[in-house]
Amino acid sequence: MYTVPFQNPWHVLQPTMYRMLPTQFAKAFYDTGALRLSSFTEFHKHTDEQRFDGDEGVGYLRHDDHLPDGRATFISATTLYGRNAYVLCGSMSDSADIARDFGTDNRIVIYDTTNFACDISSRIPGFQSGSEGPCIYIRGRMFQASLGDLSQLITDPPPTPAQVSQFLTTRLGPVPYYLKVPRFIPQLEYRLVWLTHYEVNGYLDIEVPHARKYCGPYNPNPYA
């Protein structure tokens, strides 16, 4: 739990994150700190219904900005996120049903997600920034936001895709990394996301023995 400096303290309650894995991989983490980070590209390769989501990293934005003179402007845009991101997913529920749906029998219990993620960031080449949070379940991944001044997008010649992407990233922050459709609600997913300065494909296998201090003890048979 974190306390924000303020006249009247404001407490941020972190969830416990359960990274569900087969026993051999959970034990490897507790033995040596061995951990595999995935990517949005890998998410697209899952073949089982519980994990496959072909639109991971995609968000459909509707800009709704009511102007002072009473007029309104509406802009729809598709945002593509995650091409430079590593991801670690878990659940906020230590549920045997969720573990069974994923075909796993064990888990890593992460009590301090923020320090755990910061420790891992030191082992990621080209790490730039990161975020964490619960997934946001929205039908069709359509979310609404006000982008403010759009003058950067109304130019001649038009802005490049890279410029549009940078504009949206600045205005929207990490929200699109956490969008999921409602059929995944039972998973109660919590994510850690690390951004790099290069395109990410596949997995990243690392060893982070110091990160184990932010986790609960190993249990060889947690769902017995």
pLDDT at residue 1 greater than cutoff 70: no
Tell me how far apart the alpha carbons of residues 137 and 119 are, in angstroms, rounded to a whole number: 28
pLDDT of 163 = 75
pLDDT per residue over 55-102, tens digit each?
665 656 666 665 555 555 555 555 566 788 899 999 999 999 999 998
Please report, in angstroms and rounded to a whole number, the separation of the first and last CA atoms in the chain: 30
Kindly state the helix (H) or strand (E) to which residue 168 belongs, with its residue range: helix 161-172
pLDDT of 50 = 47
pLDDT per residue over 22-62, tens digit each?
999 999 999 999 999 999 877 746 444 444 455 665 656 66
- Which one has a higher pLDDT value, 171 or 141? 171
Band of pLDDT at residue 159, cut at 50, 70 and 90 = confident
CB count within 10 Å of CB 161 equals 9
Q: What percent of the chain has pLDDT over 70?
A: 75
**pLDDT, the chain, mean:** 83
pLDDT of 44 = 47
Single pTM value for the model:
0.80
pLDDT per residue over 101-126, tens digit each?
989 999 999 999 999 999 999 999 99
Band of pLDDT at residue 20, cut at 50, 70 and 90 = very high
Kindly state the helix (H) or strand (E) to which residue 114 belongs, with its residue range: helix 113-121
pLDDT of 147 = 72
Cβ pair 86, 117 in contact under 8 A: no
pLDDT winner (highest mean) among 28-32, 160-164, 175-179? 28-32
pLDDT of 92 = 98
pLDDT at residue 148 greater than cutoff 90: no
pLDDT of 17 = 98
